[in-house]
Amino acid sequence: MTKNEIRQSLIESHSVMDVPVSTPEDTRQENVVRILEAAERLFKHYGYAKTTVADIAKDLGMSPANIYRFFGSKSEIHKALANRMLEASRAVAWENAKRAVSATERLRDHFLQQHRITVETLLHENKVHEMVVVAIEEQWSVIEDHIMQLRAIVAGLVEEGIAMGEFRAQDAELAAECLCDCTVTLCHPQIIAECLFETRRAAPADVVDFALRALK
């Protein structure tokens, strides 16, 4: 074998090694993502109630039976979409919690960020709000899990604030519960939808600052 042939053989072998091998699980995840993206697009355009599994399948150029290989029902698709939206919200909360600033500032920003996400993502689009209302009314576990994870983040920040002398000594878990209850009007989609255009309410920042003063 000549030098050129050896060189070409090495190039080809490296090229083969560099190509990632697609596994059945990779393919499955790709299909799940495609279905969720199509469902979200149709839910936002036509509304959750008016969109069927057949509509989603038609949009993807596949049969409804193919959709059911990955999701047992339209409700399961909806639940997966809700979890994806909530995961994005939690990612913002975790990033904020890791910032190198005071616990007070991080708590303040946490509630204001969650308020902004709720308003921008869940309320400005009526069709998305419909999806959220259905999820809350059906009391899905993904909603409860999301609430518990956010409260754990708040409790951790309260503990840090106590340790640093920003807050008085107290039960951090109880304080977190009270903080979340006091600011529920800023983060609960249905409550926000009802009060969004009420002109006699305090601004979100005023509500958060009032609640945080209780920790001092």
Do 123 and 194 have their domain in common?
yes
Q: Which of 18, 41, 72 is the last residue of a domain?
A: 72
Q: How far is CA 186 from CA 119, 199, 203, in A?
A: 9, 15, 10
**Residue 137: CATH number of its domain:** 1.10.357.10
Report whether pLDDT(54) > 60.
Answer: yes
Tell me the two tokens of residue 40: 């979200």
Do 145 and 186 have their domain in common?
yes
DSSP assignment, residue 131? H
Do 6 and 34 have their domain in common?
yes
Do 55 and 89 have their domain in common?
no
Instruction: Give the separation between CA 168 and CA 158, rounded to whole angstroms.
Output: 10
Residues of the chain with pLDDT > 90, as a percent, come to 50
**Residue 13: CATH number of its domain:** 1.10.10.60
Do 99 and 164 have their domain in common?
yes
The tally of domains found in the chain comes to: 2
Q: Which of 72, 99, 121 is the last residue of a domain?
A: 72
Tell me the two tokens of residue 99: 């910032």
Q: Which of 72, 107, 130 is the last residue of a domain?
A: 72
Do 19 and 99 have their domain in common?
no
pLDDT band at 164 (very low <50, low <70, confident <90, very high): very high
Do 10 and 53 have their domain in common?
yes
Do 63 and 89 have their domain in common?
no
Q: What is the pLDDT of residue 139?
A: 65
Do 85 and 105 have their domain in common?
yes
Q: How far is CA 168 from CA 4, 13, 110, 162, 165, in A?
A: 75, 65, 20, 6, 7
Do 52 and 90 have their domain in common?
no
Q: Is the CA virtual torsion 32, 34, 35, 39 positive or negative? A: positive
Q: How far is CA 185 from CA 55, 116, 154, 182, in A?
A: 36, 12, 16, 8
Report whether pLDDT(209) > 60.
Answer: yes
Do 19 and 119 have their domain in common?
no
| Element of type H or E holding 27 | helix 24-46
Do 144 and 46 have their domain in common?
no
The pLDDT tens digits for 9-44 are: 544 554 444 445 557 677 788 889 999 999 989 988
pTM: 0.76
Residue-range definition of the domain harbouring residue 44: 1-72
The pLDDT tens digits for 89-133 are: 999 999 999 999 999 999 999 999 999 988 887 655 665 666 777
Average pLDDT over residues 187-197: 72
Instruction: Give the separation between CA 38 and CA 56, rounded to whole angstroms.
Output: 6
Instruction: Give the separation between CA 59 and CA 68, rounded to whole angstroms.
Output: 15
Q: What is the pLDDT of residue 37?
A: 93
